[in-house]
Amino acid sequence: MNLIENRSLKDCNTFGIEVNARYFAEITREEEVVPLLSSLKPDQRPLLILGDGSNILFTDDFPGTVIRINTKGIAVLNDDSEAVILRVSAGEEWDEVVEYCVEQGWGGIENLSLIPGRMGAAPIQNIGAYGVELKEVLLELEAIHLETGEPRTFKREECRFGYRESIFKTTLRGHYLILHVTLKLSKKPQLNLEYGSIRKELDQAGNSSPTLHDVREVVCRIRRSKLPDPSVNGNAGSFFRNPVIRSDQFELLKKQYPSVISYPDPNGVKLAAAWLIEQCNWKGKRTGDAGVHPDQPLVLVNYGNATGQEILDLAALIRQSVLSRFGILLEPEVNIF
């Protein structure tokens, strides 16, 4: 496979940051992966695997090879009266898979509607929204080691999923290319309606017996109302994770700030990072073309020609102000290069 030299990555990241990859290749067939990896010379590394680049911030040109995954395919491995097991190629658009499954009546990922990105990136981030995380439906994934080309199957427990985290963001970061993800979805789904404003939206519509399609529509409507379109203003969705603090810390915080927004969490109490940022008066602030979205302070925006470093500098100022006021250090959700 021929590598493209000095290829712009502006169309490969939803922030729309203008940087170049020293080398670039696009994979459309699984069989291309091993020959490509084995052909790379030392000066063509390191490697970066990209789909849509919806959870990444480039602060500089990438010095090695960017491999974009564009493989397609959804296969039914098992289908019975209770559930269906799907094997999905890494290059499939996540939301298109959600839409397809909802149309088939297969439940479990409808709350994850409209999350940008491709299937291969979903386990790395353990994507989640409205009370649902990918780990709840993922059975296993198949990957290739980037150095040796050896295949490996990771069972759910081997992925070490956490809140917006997996082993592929920690100890195995940059070591594997994900090829397929296997999901188990229910034909008799129990709808999760209690997180965020899903229930409120359904009640306002007088819908007391929602379907999978209804839930997907509501989630899409809520997300569109809160999050800017990357094709209009470059962004990567939520820039920071919602921090989790100990219960005793939360009680002290609540005494000082009774209106603090929080959610239950197995490890303590999860705070709304957007609320913390807004309390520090960052909502709608802008420095040049780098800014904080006026409707959703958790989203940092490229209004045109901001550099990745300018976005990162803005994020650092936000983190420092939240830390100074609340004693809480926000952690980025996006991957920074």
Q: What is the pLDDT of residues 112-157, one digit of tens each?
A: 999 999 999 999 999 999 989 999 999 999 999 999 999 999 999 9
Across the chain, mean pLDDT equals 95
How open is the CA angle 66-67-72, to the nearest 5 degrees?
155
Domains annotated on the chain, with CATH: 4-69 (3.30.43.10), 74-186 (3.30.465.10), 234-336 (3.90.78.10)
Q: What is the per-residue pLDDT for 226?
A: 82
User: Angle of helix 212-226 relative to helix 94-104, nearest 10 degrees?
Assistant: 150
Share of the chain above pLDDT 70, in %: 100
**Residue 195: C-alpha distances to residues 63, 122, 213, 215 (Å):** 42, 20, 17, 12
Backbone torsion region of residue 316, taken as left when φ is above 0, otherwise alpha when ψ lies between -120 and 50, otherwise beta: alpha
pLDDT > 80? residue 312: yes
Catalytic residues: 164, 238, 333
CA dihedral (105, 78, 136, 208) in degrees, to 10, reads 20
pTM score, whole prediction? 0.88
User: Which residue from 171, 181, 183, 155 is spatially nearest to 85, judged by alpha carbons?
Assistant: 183
Distance CA 334, CA 55 (A): 5
Q: What is the per-residue pLDDT for 199?
A: 92
Give the dihedral sign, CA 328/266/56/290: negative
Q: How confident is the model at residue 322 (pLDDT cuts 50, 70, 90)?
A: very high
Q: What is the pLDDT of residues 56-76, one digit of tens each?
A: 999 999 999 999 999 999 999
pLDDT > 70? residue 1: no
pLDDT > 80? residue 172: yes
Distance CA 331, CA 337 (A): 15
Q: How confident is the model at residue 195 (pLDDT cuts 50, 70, 90)?
A: confident
Under DSSP, is residue 295 helix (H, G, I), strand (E, B) or coil? coil
Distance CA 317, CA 81 (A): 53
